[in-house]
Structure 1
């Protein structure tokens, strides 16, 4: 009996020593990882904003980018900012997502307005480039602002954060989280389904922070130097069509317009629609007018659950003649 007791006691001590040894090594490695991260990514303003916005969401942050034109009233006391935030209040399961939204401001006016609303926000440096006023589709300033956005998102991915990017002219009617697949490298919206190929739209996409997605964004951003007059969306489309996505081994899904709808090809199923994008529209006043009608249609659907047709996007159709 004493021999058995001694053996049992020695075994218990050995197991305890092994447990504490493993725990020590784990804590040491964890400390080393934290030290390395602190060295590579100092806690600057961007990192601080990302930490707050990604809290409780597995390092996933929702990002949108605005300038002064998006926070100014365009009639009836409404701005694109007001409408965008209203959709989170009116959507199903979307209100809590405001805690994970980081607004990137291209100028001081937009930054101050978002700070006033107590949202997570970050102001990009514009190096003397005026990004305040509305940038009409395909203008030189519009293209410049899109490339600034791409550069910022590359920085976010390099810091280890996963991104759901959304244009501000998108209404969030349902939470997209249950419809997004974390096992994929990237999911991106399209203007139209069933027209041959994939007409991607960079107004909404989900991208995971991995070496291969970072490589994609690096290549994408570098190509701006040889893509004069092209918007970043067209450059990414060229990378897709050239087979570069396959070269990197990216797993990609193109989001169906039945759920991720837009003015180019609207969803006919209100019971399935998740977001509505004012694509195929030229300027902000037209977008605000027609998206206001989208929210009105959505409220009627929530009350009746009758799958009615969306109101015609009259202002956006006419915007190309303005």
Structure 2
């Protein structure tokens, strides 16, 4: 409620006008004018006219105020989201999020619709049915909220099935790399492991506090290792994209990493504030802005905004245009259109820092991650990643003056 008053005084009479403007969260505005007069019985015409003119002037001020700033009077001030660990979304489902995770912060507020730092609210008019989305991703918002960073709402996500999560498999190597890496252990607090089957979920809960069970496709058993480009393999990788898109729509920045990646230093140091999407690459031509670089979508960072949400939707729709292809070559085929049509700010990371078997720098003093790409077969990936993790441990044990001599072992099981 906004109040103003005008007081009229002279030697013979006095009067006071109170103007009250009441506002509600709706679109209707009630304006009330309450006039309280204390006028002696014998009030002169001059005083009465002056008082009435004052009331008219006060009403004019109110009308001008409503015309210039109606939003301040017709709605409550929005709650400004201070970037924190929480996020809006459905209540967590005990069956789909780890019970050992800490509770979400109750002090978090809803994101303001007009805050330029935050993405727009989800577009409920998209091609998929919103009710089906809510059922498919039940509990995801709560799981992401618990794992995300408090300052900029960033979450690291990886996906595993039973074959990748089994003891001695890729998940063990993945988590160990965080623990022995240079400053990477604290990042585990912000890692959400997405289990694609019940066995992987049970294994995740035995190892890590932040787990989420996601079983999107009926009639598909995601547990076993999948032959490259098989029907079940394609369902698996395209389902990951649906989940990534959902995280963006929830308003979180996402760093997606395959589980066959060793984390040795913090790669976020190489993500610029300019880029909507920062992606690793198999072939790098030296220019991080060069659209002709060959992306590897097994490791990328993306910020939530209208461009990236539209990008994820267009990327998923493009699957039908490229039957039998996984998500990476499809993204490579449509990337120029995404940049031109959506204005997507796409950047690539130099493989000297975010490396893979396809292309990696020789300097162990620079590398942040090592990806077992350009490699087919679970056993080959495990063998070569275990060897490279051993190389890293040897490197960190060297005296400072000798570290420049350290070299990677050629990944012989994958590259031969």
SS of 1:194's partner is coil
Match of 1:20 in 2: none
Q: How does 1:97-176 map to 2 (within 5 A)?
A: 97-125=187-215, 126-176=217-267
CA RMSD, aligned part only? Answer: 2.7
Distance 1:210 1:279 in 2: 29
Match of 1:65 in 2: 159
Q: CA deviation at 1:185?
A: 0.4
- Sort the Cα spacing of 1:35 and 1:55 in 2 relative to 1 into closer, same or farther, 3 A: closer
Identify the range of structure 1 (41-50 vs 85-94) with the bigger mean alpha-carbon deviation. Answer: 41-50
- Sort the Cα spacing of 1:183 and 1:68 in 2 relative to 1 into closer, same or farther, 3 A: same
Match of 2:79 in 1: 30
Match of 1:317 in 2: 415
Q: How does 1:216-295 map to 2 (within 5 A)?
A: 216-241=311-336, 243-295=337-389
Q: CA deviation at 1:96?
A: 0.5
Distance 2:189 2:155 in 1: 9
Q: Is the 8 A contact 2:307 2:342 kept in 1?
A: yes
Q: CA deviation at 1:31?
A: 8.3
SS of 2:143's partner is helix
Distance 1:257 1:205 in 2: 13
- Sort the Cα spacing of 1:71 and 1:298 in 2 relative to 1 into closer, same or farther, 3 A: same
Q: Is the 8 A contact 2:261 2:370 kept in 1?
A: yes
Distance 1:212 1:191 in 2: 24
Number of equivalenced pairs: 290
TM-score, normalised via structure 1 length: 0.83
Distance 1:25 1:55 in 2: 35
Q: Is the 8 A contact 1:67 1:133 kept in 2?
A: yes
Distance 2:74 2:387 in 1: 59
Distance 1:233 1:35 in 2: 32
Distance 1:307 1:248 in 2: 46
- Sort the Cα spacing of 1:58 and 1:27 in 2 relative to 1 into closer, same or farther, 3 A: farther
Answer 1 or 2: higher relative contact order, Cα 8 Å, separation at least 6.
1
Distance 2:342 2:177 in 1: 36
Distance 2:110 2:396 in 1: 46
SS of 1:302's partner is helix
Please say if 1:205 is aligned against 2:295: no
- Sort the Cα spacing of 1:91 and 1:34 in 2 relative to 1 into closer, same or farther, 3 A: same
Residue among 392, 397, 407 paired with 1:298: 392
Residue among 122, 144, 147 paired with 1:53: 147
Q: Is the 8 A contact 2:270 2:349 kept in 1?
A: no
TM-score, normalised via structure 2 length: 0.65
Q: CA deviation at 1:314?
A: 1.1
Distance 1:289 1:31 in 2: 49
Which blocks of at least 5 consecutive residues in structure 2 are unaligned?
Answer: 1-72, 82-108, 114-120, 123-129
Per residue, is there more helix in 1 or in 2? 1
Which blocks of at least 5 consecutive residues in structure 1 are unaligned?
Answer: 1-23
Match of 1:9 in 2: none
Distance 1:168 1:182 in 2: 25
